[in-house]
Amino acid sequence: MSRSSWLERIWPLVPVVAALLFVVFLLLGFGAEPGTALSAIIDGAFGSTDKVLSVTAFWIPLLLASIGLMVTFTAGLWNIGIEGQLAMGAIGASAVALNVNAPPYILIPLEILAAMAAGALWAAIGGVLKTRGKVHEIFSGLALTNLAIILTNYLISGPWQPPEGGSFRGTAPFQDAALFPRLLESRFSPLTLILTLIALAVVAVMLSNTFWGLKLKALGKNPKSAFLLGVSSERETIYAMMFCGALAGLGGAVRVLSWFDSLRQSISGGIGFLALLVVMLAAYRLLWVPFIAFFFSAVLNGSITLQLRTQLHSSLGGILTGVLVLFVLLFGEYKKLGFRREPPETPAEVSHE
Amino acid sequence: MNESEFVLVLASIFLQASPLMIAVAGEALTERAGVVNLSLDGSMLMSAMTGFVVAYTTDNIWLGFLAAALVGAFFALIVAFGSIYLKQSQVAIGFVLTLLGDDLSAFLGQNFVRLPGPSFSKFTIPLLSEIPILGPIFFDQNVIFYFAVILALVTYWWLFRTQPGLHLRASGERPDAAFARGVNVNRVRYLYTVLGGALVGIAGASYSLAIKIGWSDGHTRGFGWIALAIVIFGGWSPIRGAVGAVLFGATKAMATYLQRAFPEVSVVAFNSIPWILMIAVLLVVGSDFTERFTAILPKPLQGPVRQLLRVAPPMALGNTFGEDP
């Protein structure tokens, strides 16, 4: 009994250690020194001020998307289309940056509004397809994501191509007034951190202290009884999608106006999909989301240095995060593994039924 | 487009559709038993990579397919174990495996990118291939095509004409009733999830070893999701799914043809066709369109047509079944 409770207490560490071991064996299989590889990742993430700022700058849109997903997950929705909502946000911000001439204090709010509106609109399509068309949000989300990526590629190779000719890589750099003010020539803009913290606070209050949060929870837990209690599942579904899409769209604006200085190919960079992993690993607890998102950002940025130094494919970072989430899903809960059987029901109890 | 060109295009449509037909047959078996294996996109990438690497290093294409089937079965086993034994969300596990398979295949296959490797070639069936038009389309094809067609027919027969097939469908429709009749629901679900996964693995390898020969990052990316959508479009039937796969291939081929015919139209319009098609098809399937369509038909036709177009998912799809005997 005491042995079991001791095991139970350290159990949450088991999937983490197992995931690390998985990656170590993978590295050994490729003849790489695991110590060197892991230190390259750590060095790539925290080796200098600039690198820490890069990790932070990558963390911001990831966190925004994750916060947004907390809303859709609460409503029981699998918003896989978030990747495309990020890209649409980037497109929305770019449209303003390329076409409006104004001082920064007008231009930047306009860009943010356009990005959030574009993300929300793209998400709303998924919501309407679900409620009106009975198309599952996973499939519409996937299709809409691919359409957003195709649209991005069209814009940068067509109407928005740089004056010297289309390169398929990106638009010309935006005017300085259009970019978020950045710290120390890095990719990180403190303004985006403030906006993200506001979003975090709003969602925290919204989910736990408002009637709308309660409605979403009801919808997520049991859509049928929520409907019977007068929660309009149609309206709440669309609003939840739009809320998430707006935050993802803001994340897209951060990508173009702070991480880059232009609209690029694969602008969303897998951040939306990664955000889904963040929220799953956090087991849908908002408080854990910022920390896990930061850890993921460090791992992914670090593995770029890994590739530069050791020629190993940078997908190792994605493998570590993916395996970690998988192992936590599979083995995270000690009780579910059935090491300790529940005492069987006594025959007397059964016969009373 | 002259006649021989037209025949070539048709033959290539059926060839391109073959891996999708195999994956759809596998996933239809899995979902009919009540489990959603959402990991298709990742497990197809993993099996395409494994199939190519094994066939390349051993110079034996059959070993490549075997290894790919094992990889697909293993991914499916994780989904089955996670959902049946641990009662975790099938969607969550499947989605994580999708992303993981993508990254893992890129990492494991990094030293095998763009290498010339072994591949399946055409197998001309004597006599039948002599038939004008039909011969070159259906009987002068890659081995993978024959396998896909036979597989669709066999899985259909297994599902709807045999006793084990009945147990399989019962496990997906009414697990409680099946259990009461002596069917070991969870064993059935394990079995067909793993079997379906093995078929998905073969589908992945048939890209890297027959259709799109070789390996590169994200070699089959997107096809797994398309297969999942075709399962829905095909009403969870392997034969209707096969028709769906061919229709999908035909639309893509038509897009390629139109692109050549109208070079002034942006390539965007054509790239977006599969995804717009995916939404449109699921919209039609989900709406009451089929109901309204059958209502305007003459009375005697209504029954059979409704039966033909029926697209109700297995009733217990995605639900866990707790028997605890």
In the numeric block, which tokens belong to residue A63?
Answer: 């966190």
Residue B124: inside a domain: yes
What value, to the nearest 5°, has the Cα angle with vertex B166 and ends B162 and B169? 135
Is residue A312 in a domain? no
Percent above pLDDT 90 for chain B? 49
Residue A48 counted as domain residue? no
Residue A272 placed within a domain: yes
Name the token pair of A83: 């990747």
Lowest mean pLDDT among A219-223, A250-254, B153-157, B320-324: B320-324
- Rounded to an integer, what distance in angstroms lies between the CA atom of residue B68 and that of residue B55? 10
Question: Is residue B125 in a domain?
Answer: yes
Task: Find which of A27, A142, A152, A316 to mutate to test the B interface (most B CBs within 10 Å of its CB).
Answer: A142
Give the Cα separation of B141 and A93 in Å (integer).
Answer: 50
Sign of CA dihedral B288, A79, B320, B152: positive
A256 belongs to a structural domain: yes
Domain that holds residue B96: 3-219
Q: Assess whether pLDDT exceeds 50 at residue A1.
A: no
Q: Is A135 on the interface with B (CB under 8 A)?
A: yes
**Domains of chain A: total:** 1
- Coil, helix or strand at residue B119: coil
Task: Please indicate whether residue A201 or residue A340 has the higher confidence score (pLDDT).
Answer: A201
Separation CA A113–CA A244 (nearest Å): 14
Phi, psi of A303, rounded to the nearest 5 degrees: -75, -15
3 state SS of A170: strand
Distance (Å, rounded) from C-alpha B209 to C-alpha B52?
A: 6
CA distance B23 to B29: 10
Residue A84 within a domain: yes
CB–CB of A75/A214 below 8 Å?
no
Residue B314 forms part of a structural domain: no
Residues A254, A97 contacting (CB under 8 angstroms): no
Q: What was the pLDDT predicted at B307?
A: 65
Which residues form the domain of A276? 54-293
CA pair distance A170, A98, nearest whole angstrom: 13
pLDDT 10s digits, B129-168: 778 777 777 887 888 999 999 999 999 999 999 999 999 9
Query: 3-state class of B120 per DSSP?
Result: coil
Amino acid letter for position A158: G
User: Is B279 within 8 Å of chain A by CB?
Assistant: yes
Side chain identity at residue B173, one-letter code: E
Distance CA A172, CA A169 (A): 10
- How do residues B165-188 score in pLDDT, each as one tens digit? 999 999 988 888 888 888 889 999
Tell me the two tokens of residue A297. 């950002």
- Higher-pLDDT residue of B299, B224: B224
Contact A271, A67 (CB under 8 A): no
Q: Residue B7 domain-assigned?
A: yes
Provide the pLDDT for residue A167.
Answer: 63
Q: Which of A34-38, A150-154, A181-185, B265-269 has the lowest mean pLDDT?
A: B265-269
| Structural domains in chain B (count) | 1
Enumerate the β-bridge partners of residue A170. A264
Separation of alpha carbons A145 and A119, rounded Å: 11
In DSSP notation, B121-173 reads -EEEPTTGGGSTTHIIIIIEEEHHHHHHHHHHHHHHHHHHHSHHHHHHHHHHH
Contact A319, A21 (CB under 8 A): no
Rounded distance between C-alpha atoms, residue A296 and residue A319, angstroms: 11
All residues of chain A having their beta carbon less than 8 Å from the beta carbon of residue B275 are 142-144, 146-147, 150
**Is B283 an interface residue toward A (CB < 8 Å)?**
yes
Residue with tokens 């104004």: A102
Instruction: With a cut of 60, say whether residue A164 has pLDDT above it.
Output: yes
Q: Please indicate, yes or no, if residue B277 is contained in any of the structural domains.
A: no
Residue B19, pLDDT score: 94
Q: Which residues of A touch B86 (CB under 8 A)?
A: 330, 333, 336-337
Residue A129 lies in a domain: yes
How many Å apart are CA A261 and CA A255, to the nearest integer? 8
Alpha-helix runs per DSSP H in B59-138: 61-80, 90-108, 134
Q: Which ipTM value was assigned to this complex?
A: 0.88
Output Rg (C-alpha) for chain B, integer angstroms: 20
Query: Which chain B residue has the Cα nearest residue A153?
Result: B268
* Cβ <8 Å between B279 and A322: no
Residue-wise pLDDT for B263-318, tens only, equals 766 677 777 888 888 888 888 877 777 677 777 777 777 776 766 666 677 877 87
Structural domain contains residue B276: no
Average pLDDT for residues B178-207, to the nearest whole number? 94
**B100 confidence band (pLDDT: 50, 70, 90):** very high
Looking at CA atoms only, how far is residue A313 from chain B in angstroms? 6
Residues forming beta bridges with residue B142, ordered by sequence position: B122
Own/partner contacts of B308-315, CB < 8 Å, gap of 24 or more, are B309/B235, B310/B235, B311/B232, B311/B233, B311/B235, B311/B285, B312/B235, B313/B31, B313/B232, B313/B236, B314/B31, B314/B32, B314/B33, B314/B34, B314/B169, B314/B172, B314/B173, B314/B236, B315/B172, B315/B173, B315/B174
B155 located within any domain: yes
Question: How much is the pLDDT for A247?
Answer: 96
Q: How far apart are CA B142 and CA A319, in angstroms?
A: 35
CA A217 to mean position of chain CA atoms: 21
Instruction: Enumerate residues 9 to 38 of chain A having a beta carbon within 8 A of any beta carbon in chain B.
Output: 26
Among B49, B81, B99, B285, the strongest candidate for a mutation testing the A interface, having the largest count of A CBs within 10 A, is B99
- For the stretch B33-54, pLDDT in tens is 999 999 999 999 999 999 999 9
| Percent over 70 (pLDDT), chain A | 92
A345 — phi, psi (to 5°)? Answer: -65, 145
Which tens digits make up the pLDDT trace of A91-144? 999 999 999 888 889 999 999 999 999 999 999 999 999 888 888 888 899 899
Residue A169 within a domain: yes
* Residue B213 DSSP code: -
A18-27, A216-225, B221-230, B263-272: least confident range: B263-272
pLDDT value at position B300? 76
Which pLDDT score, from 0 to 100, does residue A312 have? 85
Backbone phi, then psi, for B142, in 5-degree steps?
-65, 145
B207 and B44 Cβ atoms separated by less than 8 Å = yes
- Please report, rounded to a whole number, the percentage of residues in chain B having pLDDT higher than 70: 95
Angle between helices B143-161 and B185-206 (to 10 degrees): 160
